[in-house]
Amino acid sequence: MTQIAANGITLEYDEAGEGIPFLFINGFGSQMTNWPDEFRDALTAQGIRFIRFDNRDVGLSQKFTGQMPKKGEPPPYTLADMAADAAGLLDALGVESAHVAGCSMGGMIAQLVALNHREKTRSLISIFSTTSDPSLPPSTPEAQAALTARPASADRDTVVAHTLKGRRAYASTRWPFDETRLGAMIGRNYDRAFYPEGTARHWAAILAGPPRTERLKGLDVPTLVLHGSADTLIRPEAGRHTASVIPGAEYIEIEGWGHDMPLGAIPEVAGPIVDFVKRVEDET
């Protein structure tokens, strides 16, 4: 385990590669091991120092056990607190600034890193995420149910089967759904840290967070927004909206990409990220 004190709590993190610092923030209830290592490797092969971590309340980072969200009361912590964790991790590692990327809820947090910790942010890469603007279309009912439904029990086989079923609801349509590979990864994550209580607090933080639309209109950070045309959980309209409100943001919509990272999508996601990061580096 590699743990470090950051923003007053303990975070589990790892890093690979040398060169341009790049911080990746995972999404709702998601451990840092959730995305395939092949994505990390595609970036490190191009001279990027890839830093990832378990958000608070997930994986091996600090838990907030017992602090359950209560209706009508502020959540135990906010997305802004989680953004401060990310900035604090960079401080603890001695990284003056980094390219900050996040997927889904991680993209929301990354946006707040750019807004609240501008000095730590070389660029923002928002991946199938949203400004949380209320005008945007909601998830499909099937995708929303998949995200929030709980397994019938907490035993390993039930959780793996439940999670696989949910992921099918918002998977890419262009690449095959690799049940064997995904099932193995979900099982490893279960063995590493199964902690559903933390996801309830993540959800409360998402719901309590105000839309970032107006603040993002004043953001002066180079920004790349990536989204998939087949995303049923956070619809592509959300990605288009994010790019439209951030001055100068670049937008790439990948045909047939859903709310996941199949191996076949990695070149189309990692390639533009590497090109963008290196271009920003050359221009600064």
Among the listed residues 278, 17, 2, 29, the one whose alpha carbon sits nearest the alpha carbon of residue 162: 29
CA dihedral 43, 284, 23, 174 (to 10 degrees): -50
For residue 147, is pLDDT > 90?
Answer: no
Q: What is the arithmetic mean of pLDDT over 167-187? A: 97
Domains of the chain: 3-137+197-283 (3.40.50.1820)
Residue 139 near residue 253, CB atoms below 8 Å: no
Q: What is the pTM of this model?
A: 0.97
**Helix runs in the chain, H state only:** 37-44, 79-92, 105-116, 141-148, 156-169, 179-192, 196-208, 213-216, 236-245, 266-283
CA 273 to chain centre: 15
What is the pLDDT, as a whole number, of residue 84?
98
Average pLDDT of the residues in 258-284: 97
* Per-residue pLDDT reduced to its tens digit, 228-257: 999 999 999 999 999 999 999 999 999 999
